[in-house]
Structure 1
Amino acid sequence: RSLSRAQRVALVEPQAPDISLRRQCQLLGISRSSMYYQRKALGAYDLELMRLIDAEHLRTPVYGSRRMSAHLNRQGYAVNRKRVQRLMREMGLQAIYPKPCTSRPGVGHRIYPYLLRGRVIDRPNQVWATDITYIPLARGFMYLVAIMDWHSRRVLAWRVSNTLDTDFCIDALEEALARYGKPEIFNTDQGCQFTSQAFTEVLEAHDVRISMDGKGCYQDNIFVERLWRSVKYECVYLKAFESGAHLRRDLKCYFAWYNTERPHQGLDDATPDE
């Protein structure tokens, strides 16, 4: 039950000799039509709108679909709210504002309390944080997850994926744990990737305390939000990445530079590695 629909579809073996396709779908709780569905590629116009929405969301994260639609209309794009809602949902973007019943957990997912309010963070491996962001390509898009040490601002591990599944987040987490040990606290938002049993089990197996932002609390994970602004304005928006391989190659160079050479005002102009 902790697996997404796409992950369950991937478990089906159409040529399995001992169990029919119908029975496999019944056991996994998916419809047979899921086996034949092929996602329709987004058109060039939608991709252009997504690029504009992404850039504006960095500047004004309080914009929901209504105000984002008005912004695009003022830029000369005749687009209605329903289309903007669909694209923002595809990108994993939500307006930042207080929402009611924010302490109510999602179905089947445990929500952990926010542990960082008022806490002095003064050493590496005290607190790590993570988040996912949308990355536009020349002909499509991907998602980037990064794990950051809050004290040093160092990017410890990262992965890109063409879907918002949980696996690429777990891969990044396991790499960070293998290379740098474990933090005392790990902070995330309440996205389904981070509240999933598969993700939280990795942290619990390492005796890491789990902290989660309140819904709509933009400031709760502010250092990762600032990282996304830096990544996009200093790398992504300067180039039209042709493919996932091109994106990975340049992000590898960017994060190496970010950790070893880029000075940070919040660190008195030192680099994360320093």
Structure 2
Amino acid sequence: MSPSRRRQAVRMLCGRLGLSQRRACRIVGQHRSTQRHQPAEPDPDHDLRRWLRVFAKAHPRWGYRRAHAVLNRDGYACNRKKVQRLWREEGLRVPARRRKRRRVGESTTAADRLVAERPDHVWALDYQFDVTATGRILKILHVVDEHTRESLADVVAYHLDADATVDVLDKIAAGR
């Protein structure tokens, strides 16, 4: 016999026959603590939990905030924090966005498309920086022919700006 049925039997013995609760529990074989135990009420948020699970399945990219907005729009007044708590207790989560995979194939940058076919067709520039023992910054400009891998210019200066770089390239072009 289940504890709830035994509770009913104890109540009947106490009510009809006038037995004490202690004696009725002994006859039925039920502990008195079990007799006095109040069964927990069913979850008052059961329907809301079910609705949240259905909502999350139908809209996997929407979270508890959007669920709360839809609930309010449909006329079910509910606290946002309660929706958040139930959402978390149900283990619902918005899945992390997938990272876009880089497309493998031809590059769209000019540097990757341009291939040196002959000497002086493509030049490459490279800037390097170094610090002297006194703390001053040295700027180093390297200019290389991509076809022959020949170093066309190596300029070391404390001040090397865009105008100086253009002057170096003009000198190289004039000499070739």
TM-score scaled to structure 2, two decimals? 0.34
**Larger Cα Rg: Structure 1 or Structure 2?**
2
